[in-house]
Amino acid sequence: MQKRIRQRQPKDSIKPLTTSSVLNRVYSHRGIEDASELDYSLHHLLPYNQLTGIDIAVDLLVEAVYQQQRILIVGDFDADGATSSALSKLVLTDFGASHVDFLVPNRFEFGYGLSPELVDVAKQFRPDLIVTVDNGISSIAGVKAAQEAGIKVLVTDHHLAGDELPEADAIVNPNQPGDTFPSKNLAGVGVVFYVLLALRARLRELGWFEKQQIAEPNLAHYLDIVALGTVADVVPLDANNRLLVHNGLRLIRAGRCRPGISALLQLAKRQLAKVTATDLGFAVGPRLNAAGRLDDMSIGIECLLAEEKNRANELAEILHSLNSDRQQVEQEMQDEALSKLEEMDWHAGEFAHSVCLYEPHWHQGVVGLLASRIKDKVNKPCIVFANADDSNVKGSARSVKEVHIRDALALIDSRHPKLIDKFGGHAMAAGLSLSLDNLKAFQQAFEQAVTDLLNGKAIEDVIETDGELAEEELSIETAVQLAQAGPFGQGFPEPAFDGEFEVLNHRIVGENHLKLTLRSPEQENAVQAIAFRIDVEDWLSQPANRIRAVYKPDINDYFNVPELQLLIQYFERLA
């Protein structure tokens, strides 16, 4: 499907925030109006006292630390949940808590969140306090079951709240009703980081560290974990999140990160000194997530907790192997899904605005990735289902910017109260479960809900760029400046540029990568470029002499001789 290339425009005139005209343009396109917004010093971090419930949460934790109660961290089976769990255990232990354990539900046995069934497992740890991380805001029954068992519950979460809140002893969630925290974009790991900041401040006031002869922990030393969870969860990188990620990346580049993060980066063939947010999102995050998708996220958490390099390497190897397995499973599912799409004539027909796919044998842990791939392919909201058991299915939804996917599910639930068993999520991603017998009715209800939410508005298939680069801007210097200018990510997109080029030379490298030598009509010098994972058969059947490309300037130092290389993200044949 051909996309429309649209160049971003600044809201006002471009301000000289740096000495680089390219960076000034990039920052202007992302709404940066003052150089102070690029100051990522930690004293600019938003204050924790604006989070609703933070004082009560700290009261619970102070009591648990002082009385050496048993604390059980209940996490989620994704990278945000893993980093949240690891951060909580590490920091609470450093604060002097003696009994801190973690428990993550196996997605295939328990599903998401603090369920009553998971509480039964939690009882084996004999906890005095359960702290949920990256979940809990929708765990009405689970929180009730815990309290009936005499266990206090502190919910820390960032997901959107439903109509009813759990009756926990304390809730910290910037997205709960009435919360005044300025940033609603914290990941789960960001929320619990704030809770730990507030707890440290209270313990300091009480003289706890001095009395216990404990060196007061510097929580900035844990920002590598916070950065990983924030980027991997694809939350918008607003100013506060960029600050957290920037300082986490500084730790990693300086070689002062957790051994497990270092091991995963090395397995992904990333250089620590040059790590970017993109590397966390596309290299470390998937390897960490693979444990929760195919096996048990406890492996990922243990990797983050590992203190010894050898142990970290051993666990990272397991995660790397699981990720390879995940890639193979995903590819097989994607091939089947694309075949089904061709049979469905997804361009129009009965389901003109949405796609729902189901195969009983598809892997439950991979349906979210498949939904994302199909959404990108068809540019429509997509839900992929797999069997949960003989009579129920679980689905993972991914959406486009024009359709808030959780709102779509809420609309279906209000119109058909017994159609969906459970659902939850964000604007762009959600999960749900329902009876297999209801699947066909749900597909029709989903199409209607998406159609109504669109209200006649078209779904755009647009790639936004930062315009063209002049010949003097196509340089190694520009590539270096852009690499150091982040962090970029969701809501603060990585710079991309576009231009028309003459194709001087081309060849296939690896299995499906296209290596090109290009020259712009206005430029004298040729430049090297590469497009990864292309349709080789399509290119070889009709190679182009001229293309319009969307690209990112990069440095290829494969032979230890730095050379400018354009990483092509999308291209169109012009001739």
Write down all domains in the chain, each with its CATH number in brackets: 45-319 (3.90.1640.30), 345-454 (3.10.310.30), 468-573 (2.40.50.460)
Answer yes or no: are the C-beta atoms of 542 and 562 closer than 8 Å: no
357 neighbors 351 (Cβ within 8 angstroms): no
In this prediction, residue 511 has a pLDDT band, given cuts at 50, 70 and 90, of: confident
Contact present, 449 and 411 (Cβ < 8 Å)? yes
Q: What's the pLDDT score for residue 344?
A: 73
pLDDT of residue 350: 61
Please give the C-alpha separations between residue 84 and each of 239, 323, 416, in angstroms, as whole numbers.
21, 21, 35
pLDDT at 346 > cutoff 70 = no
pLDDT at 343: 79
Confidence of residue 404 (pLDDT cuts 50, 70, 90): very high
Handedness of CA 220, 222, 224, 226 (dihedral sign): negative
Separation between Cα atoms, residue 222 and residue 213, nearest integer Å: 21
For residue 345, the model assigns a pLDDT of: 63
Per-residue model confidence as pLDDT tens digits over 239-277: 999 999 999 999 999 999 999 999 999 999 999 999 999
- The span from the CA of 514 to the CA of 526, in Å, is 16
What is the value of pTM for the model shown? 0.90
Give the tens place of pLDDT for each residue, 182-220: 999 999 999 999 999 999 999 999 999 999 999 999 999
Mean pLDDT of 372-390: 93
Beta bridge partners of 461: none
Tokens read off for 238: 């607003």
Place of tokens 């001739």: 575
Q: What is the chain's mean pLDDT, rounded?
A: 93
The span from the CA of 297 to the CA of 291, in Å, is 5
pLDDT for the residue 428 = 87
Q: What is the Cα–Cα distance from 386 to 405, expressed in whole angstroms?
A: 19
What is the spatial distance between Cα 375 and Cα 222, in angstroms, rounded to a whole number? 35
For 530-545, how does the pLDDT look when each residue is reduced to its tens digit (9 = 90+)? 999 898 999 999 999 9
Residue type, 561: V
Taking CB atoms within 8 Å and a gap of at least 24, the contacts of 36-40 are 37/239, 40/242, 40/243, 40/246, 40/247
- What is the CA 87 to chain-centroid distance, rounded? 17
- In this structure, the strands spanning 546-556 and 497-509 are antiparallel
CA-CA distances (angstroms) from residue 562 to 80, 186, 302, 408?
A: 35, 37, 37, 49
Residues 6+ apart with CB under 8 A from 324: none
Could you give the 3-state DSSP secondary structure of residue 233? coil
Reported as a pLDDT band with limits 50, 70 and 90, residue 440 is very high
**Alpha-carbon gap, residue 551 to 548, rounded angstroms:** 10
- pLDDT, residue 14, reads 84
Strands (E), 54-210: 70-74, 99-103, 129-133, 152-156, 170-172
Give the CA angle between residues 569, 570, 571 to the nearest 5°. 135
The answer for residues whose C-beta is within 8 angstroms of residue 124's C-beta and 6 or more apart is none
Helix 223-232 vs helix 285-294: crossing angle, to nearest 10: 70
Centre a 10 Å sphere on the Cβ of residue 518 and count the other Cβ atoms it contains.
Answer: 24
CA quadruple 83, 87, 90, 96: dihedral, nearest 10: -160
**What distance in Å separates the CA atoms of residue 20 and residue 225, rounded to the nearest whole number?**
31
pLDDT band at residue 425, thresholds of 50, 70 and 90?
A: confident
Q: Quick one: DSSP state of residue 42?
A: G
**pLDDT for the residue 372:** 94
Q: What pLDDT, on the 0 to 100 scale, is given for residue 424?
A: 81
pLDDT at residue 2, rounded to an integer: 74
Mean pLDDT of 49-53: 96
Nearest to 232 by CA among 77, 411, 96: 77
Q: Between the CA of residue 40 and those of 26, 223, 276, 314, what are the distances in Å?
A: 17, 13, 15, 34
Which burial class, exposed, middle or buried, applies to 253 when counting CB atoms under 10 A from its CB (0-12, 13-18, 19+)? middle
Which are the contacts of 96, defined by CB distance < 8 A and separation ≥ 6? 65, 208, 209, 212, 214
Could you tell me the pLDDT band of residue 294, with boundaries at 50, 70 and 90? confident
DSSP string computed for 501-523: EEEEEEEEETTTEEEEEEE-TT-
The whole-number average pLDDT for the span 462-481 is 93
Q: Rounded distance, CA 111 to CA 142, Å?
A: 12
Give the integer Cα–Cα distance in Å for 487 and 186.
15
Mode of pairing for the β-strands spanning 129-133 and 70-74? parallel
Q: What is the mean pLDDT of residues 359-363?
A: 93
In whole angstroms, what is the distance from residue 131 CA to residue 412 CA?
32
Residue 211, C-beta contacts closer than 8 angstroms, at least 6 positions apart: none
% of the chain at pLDDT higher than 70: 98
Per-residue pLDDT band for 464 (boundaries 50, 70, 90) equals: very high
Strand pairing category for 513-519 and 527-531: antiparallel
Q: 170 pLDDT band (50/70/90 cuts)?
A: very high
Bond into 360 cis (ω within 30): no
- Position 448 scores a pLDDT of 94
- C-alpha 261/C-alpha 272 separation (Å) is 10
d(CA 340, CA 382): 13
> In the chain, what's the furthest Cα-to-Cα distance?
76
